[in-house]
Amino acid sequence: MRHKTFLWFFLPTGAAMILFIFMPIISVLMQSVYAPHEAVLEEVENCVPLVGCTIETKINQDATAALREAEPLGRFVGLEIYKDRGHLATEEVKAAWAESETWGEFREKLTNLPFYRAMGFTLTFIIFVTPLGIILGLAIALAVNSLHRHLKGLMIFFSLLPMIVTPLIGSLVLFWMIDSRGIIGSALVGLVGDPNFSLKASTGLMWVALIVYGIWHAAPFGFVVFYAGLQTLPKDQLESAQIDGATRWQQIRYVVIPHLMPLVTFVGLIQLMDNFKIFEPIVGFQASAHATSLSWIIYNDMSGETRQLSAASATSVLTILGVAILLSPVLVRTWHDFKGAK
């Protein structure tokens, strides 16, 4: 295809991506190094006859508006926003490091800082949800594969639901069940025997609930991919393994799992990136008092009356950096594929 033809075919989609993905990234980067203007203050001498004169500091509304009009981005502050308490909190971390005697104390102090608190939950979430989702997905795939033909279709249908349904809706559906008045919640209350027992009140339990949601939501993707992989299983290898007297478990361990291994890596990488972005369940579970994520911080900064765009932008840039780190193995692999194909 000639360059010119290519350009015409690619122009609409290219323009859409440049205008609404590339430019916003630049805009986010710019905003993260500018802070809103502070109000312009002026000193006014206020004289009352007989009492005397006092000097008052007032906000000059006109000058403030004019300044904001002239430089809508705000004042340039460099990396200040990244270093402040709401983001990387370099000063606070240094202080905490110097003051803490033990690791536990240092960790304790870190979790008081919003960014590290969010990272703490996100990492825990990733560590549990990614492998458990893969294992559950694999188990479902193996089990469904052994079913009768007619049941397979039905099981695939229901297995897809937790993944396809809107994350906010899925998390609400689960949240209403684990609410202390919902069916699972009240069963737990009965089990514990404490009428005041509530998932919502405990950080640990809320984390467990979010992780359970995460696995519920993630397992179907692994299931579908592994199930498709099982359809292309090398029959002859399985048969020769059987002739050699391999047990069922050995067949799975030495034939099926190696065959699915590339898919496991694929699913793992996709899930890793997905779990890093966790956001809707925190809103749905109303869990922000116990668990936050970078995406939730961005959302929280932007919603509400005062939209803190500079703060949200800085967190956005940090999130993009995080995604880039997670994505790098995929990029390296694509590069190798590309070179191999040439």
Q: Which of 56, 181, 204, 340 binds another protein (CB under 8 A)?
A: 181
If DSSP codes are grouped into helix, strand and coil, which group holds residue 72? coil
CB of 240 to another protein, least distance (A): 12
Tokens standing for residue 321: 């950096």
Site string for another protein, 220-249 (x = CB under 8 A): xx--xx-xxx--x------x--x-----x-
| Residue 124 vs 186, nearer CB to another protein | 186
Select the residue interacting with another protein from 90, 112, 240, 334 (CB under 8 A). Answer: 334
Kindly tell me which of 77 and 160 has the beta carbon lying closer to another protein.
Answer: 160
Q: Where are the alpha helices (DSSP H) in 165-308?
A: 167-178, 183-192, 203-231, 235-243, 248-251, 257-276, 280-284, 294-302
Give dist(CA 25, CA 43) in Å, integer. 41
Options 10-18, 36-44, 78-86, 122-130: segment touching another protein (CB under 8 A): 10-18
The CB-of-100 to another protein minimum distance in angstroms stands at 32
Task: Return the amino acid letter for 223.
Answer: F
3-state secondary structure of 292: coil
Identify the DSSP state of 148: -
Give the residue with the Cβ less far from another protein, 66 or 228.
Answer: 228
Binding residue count for another protein, defined by CB under 8 A: 101
Residue 93: both structure tokens together: 């971390």
Quote the least distance from Cβ 113 to another protein, whole Å.
Answer: 20
Using CB under 8 A, which residues numbered 74 to 133 contact another protein? none
Among 267, 282, 287, 291, binds another protein (CB under 8 A): 267
Could you say whether residue 164 binds another protein (CB under 8 A)?
yes
Figure out which of the listed residues 65, 66, 168, 261 binds another protein, where binding follows CB under 8 A.
168
Among 16, 44, 59, 65, binds another protein (CB under 8 A): 16
Report in angstroms the alpha-carbon separations of 233 from 159, 238, 256.
22, 8, 7
Q: What Rg do the C-alpha atoms of the chain give, in angstroms?
A: 28
Task: Give min distance, CB of 210 to another protein, in A.
Answer: 15
Q: CB of residue 267 vs another protein: minimum separation in angstroms?
A: 7
The closest alpha carbon to 309, from 52, 75, 63, 73, belongs to 73
The Cα 81–Cα 30 span in angstroms is: 12
For residue 30, the number of C-alpha atoms closer than 13 Å in the C-beta half-sphere is: 10
Residue 199 carries which DSSP code?
A: G
Write down the least CB distance from residue 83 to another protein, Å. Answer: 19
Rule CB under 8 A: say whether 21 interacts with another protein: yes
Compute the distance between CA of residue 8 and CA of residue 311 in angstroms, rounded to an integer.
39
We find the least distance from the C-beta atom of residue 82 to another protein, in angstroms, to be: 14
